[in-house]
Amino acid sequence: MASPPAALPPNAFEDRRPTVIGSVIFCLLWSTLMVGLRLWTRGVVIKQLGVDDYVCLVGLLAIYGSGIAIAHMTTYGLGRHIYIMEPQNIPLYLRDFYVSIVLYCSALLFLKLTFLFQYYRVLAVQKMRNIYIGSIIVVGGWALSQVLVGIFICTPIAGFWDSTLDATCMPNIPQWYINAAGNIITDVAVFVLPLPAIWSLQLARPSRIILLFIFSLGFFTVIISIIRIRYLKQFDDFPWENVDASLWSVGELTSAITCACLPTMRPFMSRYFPSLASQVSRSTKGYAHADDSGVAGRGSGGGRSAQESGLGSGVRRVPTGSKAAADDGSAASMMGSEVELAPAGANGLRSNPFEVHVMHELIVDVERGSTRPGQYGVQGYVSPSSPERVREKMSKGRM
C-alpha cells in the first residue's frame, strides 16, 4: 500500500506573484518616464542630445530586459513556495534568472557610463578632464567585467540552468558578494566625483546646494545596493525568498536611472512650468556675471569664477543693471538665475552646462541706451559672444 503524501506546510500556497509583477511594472514605467523626459528635454527643448543620452537609453533597454525576465520568472514559480513548484519548471526558472542577472549587470554598466559621460559633458574643465576619462575606463572596465562574469559563469553557458550537462560553474557565493561590493565602491566613486567641482563653482549658495542635492541623490542608490546584499543568499525555498533580492535589484536600477536623469530636467521645468522656475530664480539676489557673450547671472560673492573654474572666459562681475555693464559697448542679458558657461564652440555660442534657461530676459541695447523686456524665450543657448552680432540681430528683430 502506497504511503500517503506528505502534508504541506500551512503557508504552502502563499502567493507573492502580484507583488512582483506590480513592482516591476511600476519600476519600468517610472524609468520610462524619467528617460522620456530626459530625451524630450535634451532633444526637443534644447536640441543638444549627447553620448550620455544615448547610453542612458541603452541602459533603459537593459532595465526592461532584466525586469521582464524577473516578471516572467513568476510563470515558473517565483513568488511561490518550493513545495508546490513543478520539477520541470526549475530549469526554466533558472534560465530566466540567468537572463535577469546578465541584463542587471549590463544595466549597471550603461548607467555608470551615463553618469560619467554626463560629468564629462557638463564639468570637463581642464583639471578634471583626465580624471573623468580615467574614471570611464576604470569604472566601465569593472562593470564590463561583471557582465562577462555573469555571461560565462558556467561552461557551457547552458549548464547554469540545465543540470543534465557536465558544466563547470563559478560558485554563486562569494561571486554575488564580490559583485555587490564592487558595485557599491564604484557607485560611491561615481557619485562623489562631481561634488568638489560643483562646490567650487561661483554659484549663489541656494543654487549650489540645490545642485549638490540633485547630484547627491545617487547615494540613495548606494543605500539600496547595501540593503540588497542582505538578500544575496542561496535559500532552500529559493523561488519564494528570491522575490526580495529581485525587487531590490529592479529598485536599484530604477533609482540609478532616475538620479541620472534628474539633473537634465531644469530646461523642461523652465519651459513648461515657468512660474516655478521664476520662484527659484528670485530666491537669490546679488551681482551678475557679464561678459561679451551677452550673458549675466547672479553671483554669490564667493568661490571661483567661471574663468577660474574653466567653465568660461572673460567673465567679470558687475552689478545687475549698472552702467558698467554698458560701458564696454556690449549687450548684456540679465536673468534671474546664475549660469556658468562652458568654452565657446565652433558656432560662437557658449553652452550652458547645467541647463539653466533664460526665462525672464532683459536686453540692454547699449547703442540706443534703452532697455526692453526680452520676448525671445532663449532656451538651450545664450546670446552670441560677439556684440556686433547681438546688435545686428536686435536691429533685425531676430533675437
Span 24-41, pLDDT tens digits: 999 999 999 999 999 999
**pLDDT(390) > 60:** no
* Average pLDDT in the chain: 74
Per-residue model confidence (pLDDT) at position 345: 45
Q: What is the mean pLDDT of residues 169-178?
A: 84
Within 10 A of 108 (CB to CB), how many other CB atoms are there?
A: 28
**pLDDT(191) > 60:** yes
Pairing of strands 168-169, 287-290: unpaired
What single-letter amino acid sits at 60? L
| CA triple 91-97-98, angle to 5 deg | 90
In angstroms, rounded to a whole number, what is the distance separating the alpha carbons of residues 150 and 168? 14
Q: What is the mean pLDDT of residues 255-269?
A: 92
Per-residue model confidence (pLDDT) at position 277: 62
Task: Identify the residue with better confidence: 236 or 333.
Answer: 236
Distance between alpha carbon 55 and the CA centroid of its chain, in Å? 10
CA gyration radius, the chain: 27
What single-letter amino acid sits at 180? A
Span 100-127, pLDDT tens digits: 999 999 999 999 999 999 999 887 676 7
Reported confidence tier of residue 399, pLDDT bands at 50, 70, 90: very low
Instruction: Map out the domains of the chain with their CATH numbers.
Output: 17-264 (1.20.1070), 285-396 (no CATH)
SS3 364: strand
Task: Identify the residue with better confidence: 167 or 8.
Answer: 167
In angstroms, rounded to a whole number, what is the distance separating the alpha carbons of residues 159 and 118? 39
Cell digits for 127?
583639471
In angstroms, rounded to a whole number, what is the distance separating the alpha carbons of residues 223 and 203? 29
Task: Let me know: does 108 contact 78? Beta carbons within 8 Å.
Answer: no
In angstroms, rounded to a whole number, what is the distance separating the alpha carbons of residues 177 and 137? 23
Per-residue model confidence (pLDDT) at position 318: 37
Reported confidence tier of residue 304, pLDDT bands at 50, 70, 90: very low
* Window from 113-127, 211-225, 320-334, 345-359 with minimum mean pLDDT: 320-334
In angstroms, rounded to a whole number, what is the distance separating the alpha carbons of residues 244 and 240? 9
Q: H or E stretch including 155?
A: strand 154-155
Q: Which of 153, 107, 136, 115 is nearest to 251 (CA)?
A: 107
Beta bridge partners of 101: none
Q: What is the mean pLDDT of residues 292-299?
A: 33
* Contacts (Cβ under 8 Å, ≥6 apart) of 141: none
Per-residue model confidence (pLDDT) at position 202: 74
The Cβ-side half-sphere exposure at 238, using a 13 Å CA radius, reads: 11
Q: What is the mean pLDDT of residues 269-281?
A: 75
* Contacts (Cβ under 8 Å, ≥6 apart) of 307: 313, 314, 315
Q: What is the mean pLDDT of residues 186-215?
A: 82
- Model pTM score: 0.71
Span 140-162, pLDDT tens digits: 999 999 999 999 999 999 999 99
Span 225-251, pLDDT tens digits: 888 888 887 778 899 999 999 999 999
